[in-house]
A = this chain, B = another copy of it.
Amino acid sequence: MSNKTIQDIENRIASLLKRSDLSVTESRRKILHLFLEQPGALAHGDIERKAGEKFDRVTVYRTLQAFVDKGIIHTIPTADNSIRYALCKDDCSAGHHHDHHIHFVCTNCNNTYCLDDVVTPEIKLPKGYQAEHVEVVVEGVCKNCKG
């Protein structure tokens, strides 16, 4: 890995933060790094473990909250009640998330993936119910774990 590549990533992170009207701080850079160097989603606990020695717990909470508010990451509900976070596509922004993909939780490796190409299906609801947002979480065995 050349020094240039590392610099590229740093620049990408900095510009992402600036575009979101967030000042560029060490903790935000570090936490964004974690998301970028990893394919799946991260639980709060993961982040705290990987970044928590350098940063306070409270900072992790506030950083994640800021990222969600600004449309940098989105939350993924899971059955075991531990919210996971994953990077948004570029068309999300402050106040408006536009993630209409489904999520996959592997029961083997316990990773969570955004399946960006799988669009949430139309759900036909009983009379009187009006849908605003549909959340689909599929549990099963992921590509990597399927021997």
Contact = CB atoms under 8 A, between A and B. Distances in A.
A143 B129 CA distance: 5
A77 B75 contact: no
A81 interface: yes
A131 B138 contact: yes
A36 interface: no
Contacts of A75: 79
Contacts of A6: none
Interface stretch (A49-57, A58-66, A86-94, A113-121): A113-121
Given A79-B135, A129-B142, 13 more contacts: A77-B81, A81-B81, A81-B82, A107-B132, A115-B125, A115-B129, A121-B121, A123-B138, A129-B141, A132-B140, A134-B138, A134-B139, A135-B139
26 contacts: A77-B77, A77-B79, A77-B137, A81-B81, A81-B83, A107-B132, A115-B126, A115-B129, A123-B136, A123-B138, A125-B140, A128-B142, A128-B146, A129-B140, A129-B142, A130-B140, A131-B138, A131-B139, A132-B139, A132-B140, A133-B138, A133-B139, A134-B137, A135-B136, A135-B138, A136-B136
